[in-house]
Amino acid sequence: MGAAVVIVVTVGLSVALASGKAEGVARERIRDELLRVPALFAGWRDSQMSARRGQVRAVAEQPGTKALLAEGGGGPETAHDTSLEFARALGAGAVFLFDTQGRLIVRTDRPREEGGRDFSGVSWVSVPISRLTEASAFIAEVSRGPALSLVASAPVLQGAGTERVLNGVVSAAFRMDDERAHEVGRLAGGEAAFLVNAAARGAVPRLEVVGTTEGFRDPALGREVSAQSGTTEAQLARGDLPSPFALRARGRDYLATLVPILSGSGEPVGGMVVGRAKDEELAAMREIRRSLLGVGALILLLSVPLSFAFARALARPIQQLAIGAEEIGRGNLDVPLPRAGRGEAGALARAFEVMRRELREKAQLEQLVADLRGRGVDPTLRGVPPTGTDGLPSSGPVLGHLFAQRYEIRGLVGRGGMGAVYRALDRELDEEVALKVLEKSAGEGAPGEQQLRREIKLARTITHANVVRAYDFGEAEGVRFFTMEYVAGATLRELLDEEGRLALTPALQIAKQVCRGLGAVHRAGIVHGDLKPANIVVMTGGIAKLTDFGVARARRQAGTPFAGTPPYMSPEQVRGAEMDERSDLYSAGVLMFEMFTGRRPFDAGDPFEVMRLHLEEVPPNPRTLQPTLPELLADTIVACLAKAKADRPATAADLDRLLMRVRT
């Protein structure tokens, strides 16, 4: 069922994204085309004016027209009848006759009005009189019903050259009606309407439709254009109009642009609005959307039974893994697990198998430590050197003594050249800790104190399950000390001394945990510098921990000569050259060689001879000493023991991944 839901969601998102993208593309295409409308309209207007002037000029050049105006119109009735004939011949809405002073003789749309009215201040009359040439302009009529017309005028001349005489002016007005709107609409590829400005001069424009295509035949179109475009009279006059703007007409959504129409004197008498319907632009997308929905529905019908079958096939190994997880949690590591295949279930099965293998290795490691304790070896008394009569070192805290008014001394864990480690009870925290102090002779000089400070400072930067945690640092009773996590278990040195060599499975588990601890140390920018069996503690719970950072250095200090233990020192450490994380991996290689074969790759009675061998001799292949070792494990150990750092694994994590591939 989940697959079906995914399909539905996918198809739905696809349709939604495609629709959104298509609408954006459509809007952009409409916008680009609308931006070309003013230029298209200007070309149409100029061609109309030129054609109309030519028509009127032809009338003005007729002998009858010249004779009529030479006689001052020949009387009102004669002038009116002749003008009507001119109007019918021109297809004009009205014809005007003017005398040589620009006074109206007659106009066909108002035969008994405005006779003698002076039009000499109107451009389309004054230009023919003053320049003896044709003129044209747009005029608006609002007193007897709104109308917008293109008027063309021509002078009526008699004679030629210097004897040419002006008899008057003839003008014809051509309505911007539905037919003209269709012409513009076809040219612009959309709906078009002519609007007249019916508002008084200086008022907010009130646009009314006077000619339109069918899509814009809406009584409210003029008001809608005025409201949506936000046009002012000044904007109409300047041609500074918002474009495009949203427009709704007859229930459809458009993107539209408004082109101003000015009179001969530059006053805004109207406008031309052109719009493109968004749904027409999206028609192809709607077809694609319907197809997608149809295909999605078909896929959904097929996917429901298939998804159930697929779910059952997928759930079977998941259910087996769930049962296996419960059994592993109860300690049954032999529970059968499904075979690892492809996909998520296969990856999960492989992860479970790795986890089970790790738990088996850890269980064997726990058993190894338990066997050591069962043979009477006390892992908390790690080869303590000769002591005073009370069994403790000749100096330092005393058994049962409350040290630093906080730590109750319960026993000696071990002692080295720099000091001793005690098992103590921290009374403030009510838990056991390991208390490390410097011998007074070592603490009297700066090196011993500096080493102790360095060890606690570096150790406190690391928090990891495979690294002993450091707690506190201080001075009491004349000695320097610090406290750290108390680890109940045996050192790897003790295990090797007791067993000779370790079995493959527990040794491999120790090696992997050492790599993980080293990874944490290296991520803190630290090179351990003294990785050896004595500095690895194996707890009774099968956890291996790194300890003793006494010779560790921050990574940025690499290149400073290191102290260390000769059998486990890398070639660069022997030379006092620059060290990095791969130097610790060399020491890990020595440590693994010893765990799996029972001896070190280089050994001699003289420490300096051992260091020479690290520098010059090729290490033996561990399979020559232990033929049953897996080849991958032997090759990994040899790679760690490479003389050049570049030939070793790059990081502790890389080494851990190699060891994870070893099958026991």
3-state secondary structure 594-634: HHHHCCCCCCCCCHHHHHHHHHHCCCCCHHHHCCCCCHHHH
Active-site amino acid positions = 530
Burial 265-277 (b: 16+ CB within 10 A, else e): eeebbbbbbbbbb
pLDDT for 615 equals 95
Q: Is the pLDDT of residue 203 over 60?
A: yes
Mean pLDDT across the stretch 490-517? 93
HEC secondary structure over 384-436: CCCCCCCCCCCCCCCCCCEECCCEEEEEEEEECCCEEEEEEEECCCCEEEEEE
CA–CA separation, 568 and 574 (whole Å):
10
> Cα separation of 299 and 8, whole Å?
9
Q: How confident is the model at residue 664 (pLDDT cuts 50, 70, 90)?
A: confident
DSSP class of residue 74 equals S
644 and 547, same structural domain? Answer: yes
Which pair of structure tokens corresponds to residue 78? 């004669």
Res. 392 pLDDT band, cuts 50 70 90: very low
Q: Are residues 370 and 310 in the same domain?
A: no
How much of the chain exceeds pLDDT 90, in percent?
Answer: 43
Total number of domains in the chain: 4
Q: Average pLDDT, stretch 19-36? A: 75
Amino acid at 353: E
Residue 73 sits in the same domain as residue 140: yes
Looking at the domain assignment, is residue 344 inside a domain?
no
Contact between residue 538 and residue 546 where contact means Cβ atoms under 8 Å apart: no
| pLDDT (mean) for 320-343 | 60
Three-state DSSP class for residue 564: coil
Say whether both 476 and 494 belong to one domain: no
pLDDT value at residue 511: 96
Token couple for 529? 């510098």
Q: Whose CA is closest to 611, among 549, 640, 653, 569?
A: 569
- The overall average pLDDT reported for the chain is 82
* Confidence (pLDDT) at 76: 81
With respect to residue 628, please indicate whether it lies within any of the assigned structural domains: yes
**Of 487, 507, 528, at which residue does a domain stop?**
487
- The answer as to whether 373 is a domain residue is yes
What digits encode the pLDDT tens for the residues 6-23? 555 665 666 566 666 666
Final residue belonging to a domain, choices 438, 464, 487:
487
CA–CA separation, 296 and 309 (whole Å): 20
Buried b (16+ CB within 10 A) or exposed e, 19-44: beebeeebbeebeebbeebbebbeeb
* Range from 176-180, 331-335, 654-658 carrying the lowest mean pLDDT: 331-335
Locate 459 and state its tokens: 């150790």
pTM: 0.50
Whether the predicted pLDDT of 378 surpasses 50? no
pLDDT, tens digit, for every residue of 634-645? 999 999 999 999
**In a 3-state reduction of DSSP, which class is residue 59?**
helix
How far apart, in whole angstroms, are the C-alpha atoms of residue 255 and residue 283? 16
Least confident residue range of 114-123, 451-460, 477-486, 600-609: 451-460
CATH number for position 393? 3.30.200.20
Residue 188 predicted with pLDDT over 70: yes
Highest-confidence range of 75-84, 339-348, 371-380, by mean pLDDT?
Answer: 75-84
- Better-predicted residue by pLDDT, 77 or 633: 633
Look at residue 344 in the predicted model and tell me its pLDDT.
63
What is the CATH classification number for the domain harbouring 247? 3.30.450.20
**How much is the pLDDT for 195?**
92
For residue 614, the model assigns a pLDDT of: 95
- 155 or 392, higher pLDDT: 155
- Across 121-125, 340-344, 416-420, least confident range: 340-344
Beta-bridge partner residues of 435 = 422, 483
Asked whether residue 9 falls in the same domain as residue 57, the answer is: no
What separation in angstroms does the CA of 610 have from each of 92, 500, 590, 597, 639?
Answer: 120, 20, 12, 18, 19
Instruction: Quote the pLDDT of residue 436.
Output: 86
Query: Percentage of the chain surpassing pLDDT 70?
Result: 74
- Provide the pLDDT confidence category of residue 231 given band limits of 50, 70 and 90: low
Q: Is 208 contained in some domain?
A: yes
Most confident of 110-119, 301-310, 430-439, 509-518: 509-518
- Which range, 8-12, 469-473, 601-605, 622-626, has the best average confidence (pLDDT)? 622-626
Q: For the ranges 100-104, 110-114, 288-292, 365-369, which has the lowest average pLDDT?
A: 288-292
Residue 336 lies in a domain: no
Residues 182 and 170: beta-carbon distance below 8 Å: no
Give the integer Cα–Cα distance in Å for 155 and 169: 5
- The helix/strand/coil state of 326 is helix
Q: What's the rounded mean pLDDT across residues 89-118? A: 89
3-state SS record for 176-197: CCHHHHHHHHHHHCCEEEEEEE
The answer on pLDDT for 388 being more than 50 is no
Residue 332 reports pLDDT greater than 60: no
Domain assignment of residue 11, given as a range: 2-23+288-327
Residue type for 31, please? R
Residue 341 counted as domain residue: no
Whole-number pLDDT of residue 638? 97
Residues 295 and 440 in one domain: no
Token pair listed for 185: 């609409």
Whether the Cβ atoms of residue 563 and residue 552 lie closer than 8 Å to each other: no
Rounded distance between C-alpha atoms, residue 375 and residue 352, angstroms: 35
38 and 184 in a common domain: yes
Does the pLDDT of residue 237 top 60, yes or no? yes
Say yes or no: 323 and 388 in one domain. Answer: no
pLDDT in tens, 395-451: 668 888 899 999 999 998 877 666 788 999 999 989 999 998 876 655 455 565 676
What is the DSSP track for 115-154?
A: TT-B-TTSHHHHHHHHHSS-EEEEEEE-TTS-EEEEEEEE
Residue 458 lies in a domain: yes
Cβ-contact 663, 655 below 8 angstroms? no
pLDDT of residue 377: 45
pLDDT reported for residue 273: 92
For residues 8 and 52, state if they share a domain. no
At a CB cut-off of 8 Å and minimum separation 6, what does 436 contact?
Answer: 419, 420, 421, 422, 452, 455, 481, 482, 483, 484
Last residue of a domain, one of 487, 507, 535: 487
607 shares its domain with 535: yes
State whether 541 and 443 are in the same domain. Answer: no
Is residue 338 in a domain?
A: no
Q: Choose between 310 and 3: higher pLDDT.
A: 310
Using N-to-C axis directions, what is the helix angle for 504-523 and 581-597, rounded to 10°?
170
Q: CATH number for the domain including 646? A: 1.10.510.10
Per-residue pLDDT averaged across 112-127, rounded? 88
What pLDDT does 391 receive? Answer: 45
Q: In terms of domains, do 521 and 465 share one?
A: no
Choose among 573, 580, 588, 616: nearest CA to 512: 588
State mean pLDDT over 125-138.
Answer: 95
SS3 for 519-531 is HHHHHCCEECCCC
Q: How many alpha carbons lie under 13 Å from residue 312 in its C-beta half-sphere?
A: 5
- CB burial readout 578-593, b (16+ within 10 A) else e: ebebbbbbbbbbbbbb
Better-scored residue on pLDDT, 480 or 450 = 480
